[in-house]
A and B are shown apart, each in its own frame.
Chain A
Amino acid sequence: MQKEYTVTVYTEDRIGITNRITIIFTRRGINITSLTTAETEIPGVYKFIITVMSTREKLDKVVGQIEKLIEIHRAFVHEEDEVVYQELALYKISTKSLESGDIERLIRDHQARILTITADYFVIEKTGHQQELTDFIKKLEPYGLIEYSKSGRVAIVKWSRRFHEHLKELQASSEA
């Protein structure tokens, strides 16, 4: 059955690695719904967090084919309940709306915060899951939403025991 999965991939820092990973999804006709990538705590090792709608069976094979790439350390597929995750959204609103008192309450009630204010606009930051973040758009629209931007997923694996240790060992072994 198709449902949302999180795929995490640990990679070397190499030009084109994103392409190498994504074409494996492309070949099987799997649409990537979000992709977050950044360097891990170990310099030179990157982590990709990819969300897709697919089946476990397909993704187990995809992950095997990703791991086969030379510059990939490990790749995993996680069910929704195996990860703790957050996404981050920014909302740019016209400063004029601050004149009305309720937007500040709205921001507080939704555990959002104001990042910056200029004469013309201000920017709100909110973290959460996709649904909450898009729901918040509707609440802000009456105040003059100018721009909305949301990140992909940042995830921590519930069952992980020693990812950090493993990466440290990797760093130590390549320095030796």
Chain B
Amino acid sequence: MQQKDVLPMKAEKADKRLSAKPVITGSEAVIRSLIAEGVDTIFGYPGGAIMPIYDALYDFQDQVHHILVRHEQGATHAAQGYARSSGKVGVAFATSGPGATNLVTGLADAYMDSTPMVCITGQVAASLLGTDAFQETDVIGITMPITKWNIQVTRQEDIPGAIAKAFYIARSGRPGPVLVDITKNAQFGEFEYEYVPCTHIRSYQPVPELKQDAVKAAAALINEAKKPFLLVGHGVLLSGAEKALIALAEKAHIPMASTLLGLSAVPVDHPLYVGLLGMHGNYGPNVLTGECDVLIAVGMRFDDRVTGDVASYANKAKVVHIEIDAAEINKIITAEVAIHADAKTALEALVTDVQPANHDEWLAEFKAAHQKEYDKVQHGELYPEAGELKMAEVVRLISEKTKGEAVLVTDVGQHQMIASRYYRFKNPNTNITSGGMGTMGFSLPAAMGAKMGTPEKEVVAVIGDGCFQMTLQELGTIYQSKIGVKIVILNNNFLGMVRQWQQLFFDKRYSSTEMVNPDFVQIAKGFFIPGKKVTAREDISAAIDEMLATDGAYLLEVVVEKEDNVFPMVPAGAPVSTIRLE
């Protein structure tokens, strides 16, 4: 009897599915699959092997906004900026061969900085694979070590499944970039299209089960701690754990310091926030890492720029490591208690198990350290009265005038460290920078992506003169697609960070670091982007006001002190406690 009831229903369902399966090309399936994943913005550049997909895109312009970049690297960084500001998966398109190889830097950057991104590349027809056909390159082989996953699709029937898996993998667990390479024959071929989102892969467990024992053990350590210290990593932002983190810090009265990528998870003006970790981080967090007795690291991976000399790192501390990626646990620093879990889940459990505490004396040590740094370094940098313009005063003014609410996109080098040190972030996901890879040229395209991802926010890219010249062609994209990013070039006519190292560690032998620069404002003008060059202190405030008041993109070049150094500084490989203030 039951059998009879069940069977007709099944048949009916099957019929419906059949009728809902249109016969379309692989190319159209790509676009429809992306739409099914909620994609409305794509950054890309067409070429021979991806032309069928671009042709299909032509019919979906009302649903998907394609941003034509000026170089495929720009597409990847834009997709990264989009992902980091919006929390959605960034999408980039490129053709085979050079188009695909131009994605490499962005993929590596996204892999290091756990950024969800799906790149789709065209590939020569399956029959030509391996024959050195025109614009054929083994992009799967090339990107294997720098993607979370990649796949080559040679049959149209496999396109929806591959894209479904790509999105699931890119955004789940520790996010990362995924590349889907689609041969031209699969783009042309027709099949019965159906999209089923991916929700499970049997060999992949993105979110580990929280072990209560580990939470209890961590809570016990925290409850006994006299000098607990919280390290805030990118994982806090990725899992949306900001509130849980602050709740834990407030309940157990624990000072919090941020990694470069963890910036903006905690408002800079939070009373328990003590600053930035690492090589050019703040004095207190670095020196006092050596004094803390329990170190609670959340969603971070103990990068060498944070730890300095590993052997002497946090020597007095028992380490609690909350981390979603098992391969990061005990990779650099051995954890007394490892909580292998999503940061938010772990912190929410931990906050109920910790006891309220008071660590005023311990916090006073951070305050004293901050005062020392403020007197020796910060005050002079932020409020100079004479001499050339300083990067820090420019960043301070931008921070004040945007109320710490802009999305700050930075490149790599001195300006990045200064901006990260002095911008007073107020809201999560407003710091976008290239951390692990340190990719010069990241910020201009990333800022475009960030603006597309969060158009309601002010997006300010702070860029060095060297970095800007690596991807400045994206001004063309900014103009064509009317992307209202504010561009601030801190121009010291040097590759400043390399010059600083040459000064300190290479006897001032300035080998290939001085730059003879073009007129940046003229360049912007060539792309129909308004701009201004400022060289004097009295002009800077009004110039920033003008930039922020401008509707649309604007380029502000600020000529800053030529041989300025970023301090504090932990010499590479030295113990963080040896951080230098001058």
A23 x B144 contact (CB < 8 A) = yes
Do A16 and B202 contact each other (CB < 8 Å), given the known contacts A68-B326, A68-B327?
A: no
Do A12 and B203 contact each other (CB < 8 Å), given the known contacts A68-B326, A68-B327?
A: yes
B144 x A70 contact (CB < 8 A) = no
B144 x A16 contact (CB < 8 A) = yes
8 A Cβ contacts from A68-110 to B: 68, 70-73
Question: Is A34 part of the binding interface, using a Cβ–Cβ cutoff of 8 Å?
Answer: no
One of A59-67, A111-119, A122-130 at the interface? A59-67
B interface SS class: mixed
Question: Is A19 part of the binding interface, using a Cβ–Cβ cutoff of 8 Å?
Answer: yes
A167 CB to closest chain B CB (Å) equals 11
B149 x A70 contact (CB < 8 A) = yes
Chain A-chain B contacts (Cβ-Cβ < 8 Å), number:
41
Size category of the binding interface on chain B: 10 to 19
Question: Is B140 part of the binding interface, using a Cβ–Cβ cutoff of 8 Å?
Answer: yes
Question: Is A160 part of the binding interface, using a Cβ–Cβ cutoff of 8 Å?
Answer: no
A64 x B203 contact (CB < 8 A) = no
B331 x A61 contact (CB < 8 A) = yes
Question: Is A20 part of the binding interface, using a Cβ–Cβ cutoff of 8 Å?
Answer: yes
Encode contact with A along B193-214: 1 for CB under 8 Å, 0 otherwise: 0000000011110000000000
Alpha-carbon distance A176/B449, docked complex (angstroms): 42
Q: Which residues of A contact B144 (CB under 8 A)?
A: 16, 19-20, 23
Question: Is B169 part of the binding interface, using a Cβ–Cβ cutoff of 8 Å?
Answer: yes
Do A73 and B331 contact each other (CB < 8 Å), given the known contacts A27-B145, A67-B326?
A: no
Partner of B325, one of A12, A15, A68: A68
B348 CB to closest chain A CB (Å) equals 25
Q: Which residues of B contact A72 (CB under 8 A)?
A: 203
Do A70 and B327 contact each other (CB < 8 Å), given the known contacts A19-B144, A23-B144?
A: no
A20 CB to closest chain B CB (Å) equals 6
Using a CB–CB distance below 8 Å, which chain A residues touch chain B? 11-12, 15-16, 19-20, 23, 27, 60-61, 64-65, 67-68, 70-73, 170, 173-174
Using a CB–CB distance below 8 Å, which chain B residues touch chain A? 140-141, 144-145, 148-149, 152, 169, 201-204, 325-327, 329-331
Give me 4 other A-B pairs in contact (C-beta within 8 A), A16-B140, A70-B148 excluded.
Answer: A11-B203, A12-B203, A27-B145, A173-B202
What are 6 A-B contacts defined by CB distance under 8 Å? A11-B203, A12-B202, A19-B141, A68-B325, A70-B148, A174-B202
